[in-house]
Amino acid sequence: MPHHPTSDPQSSESPESASSTRSARSAKSRRSREVRSSSLHEIGGRCIGWMMQLIGMTLNLEFKQREQLAQYLETTPVVYALWHNRLFVLPYAWKKFFPERTMVALASASKDGAVVEAAVKNFNIDIARGSSSRRGVAGLVALKKAAQSGLDVAITPDGPRGPLYTVQPGIVKLAQSTKHPIVVVHVQYHGVWTIGSWDKFCIPRPFSTVELSIEICPVPEKLDDEEFTQRRDDLETMMRTVSDNDGISSKI
């Protein structure tokens, strides 16, 4: 009697069905990796936030223009500008000096932006996420809405990837469209660690002194192309005045 082999259910599966199964498994695997990645970045960001808090509590923060800025903020919301590598101390200082105010800051749509968002959430700072590949348009639109609702907003105009100490035009466009002035925040560290990142990111040493100062840069609502470029150049010069002469450059 001839032998008839029994059919294997898997071997009888059509090529199309097998391909669909593999695609489903692949998609599930990708989603799983994304969830794990998001969780890791959330945890990492929270750890950085705690480090900001702990180091900040030890610092001697000097901000002689605090009352001047407080009076100015009674009249208008503002657009804060600071260099990317000076970011570390600002969340703690913001909550310390202006605990009643909420700020919305721009962060990239990348995983780095997720870390930043998790790090600053306990400092009265919300995050607008924007894609650097699309020149941050989505993030700038979110900032504009926040500014028009009466909130202060903040941008690191050389972030998230540089060039270092170069102002990108987005912050000038934002100030122009919202009619809110730019407030440049200068941060001078006296004792600092630097990281080997593109911007030589600065972390103040515990118990060191950090000096904060501000300059106001109004932006007219109407500017032609030449005037717009000049305003961007003026802002960059204003921001570089301290950062080029505070000793950080020689240390990194």
Residues 117-133 have pLDDT tens digits of 999 998 999 999 875 44
pTM for this model (two decimals): 0.80
Query: How far is it, in rounded angstroms, from Cα 120 to Cα 104?
Result: 10
pLDDT for residue 252: 34
Lowest-pLDDT choice from 123-132, 142-151, 164-173: 123-132
Mean of the pLDDT values across residues 73-80? 95
pLDDT at 77 over 80: yes
Average pLDDT over residues 14-35: 51
Residue 248, Cβ density class (10 Å: 0-12 exposed, 13-18 middle, ≥19 buried): buried
- Amino acid residing at 145: K
108 or 83, higher pLDDT: 83
* pLDDT surpasses 80 at 34: no
pLDDT for the residue numbered 33:
43
Q: What is the pLDDT of residues 228-243, one digit of tens each?
A: 999 999 999 999 987 6
Residue 151 has pLDDT above 70, yes or no: yes
Compute the average pLDDT of residues 13-36: 51
Reported as a single tens digit per residue, the pLDDT across 45-60 is: 999 999 999 999 999 9
**pLDDT band at 31; cut points 50, 70, 90:** very low
Average pLDDT over residues 246-251: 44
User: Is residue 247 predicted with pLDDT exceeding 80?
Assistant: no
Q: 208, 194, 196, 197: which is closest to 60 by C-alpha?
A: 208
Which pLDDT score is estimated for 35? 33
Supply the pLDDT for residue 166.
95
In percent, the amount of the chain with pLDDT more than 70 equals 79
User: Does 72 have pLDDT greater than 80?
Assistant: yes
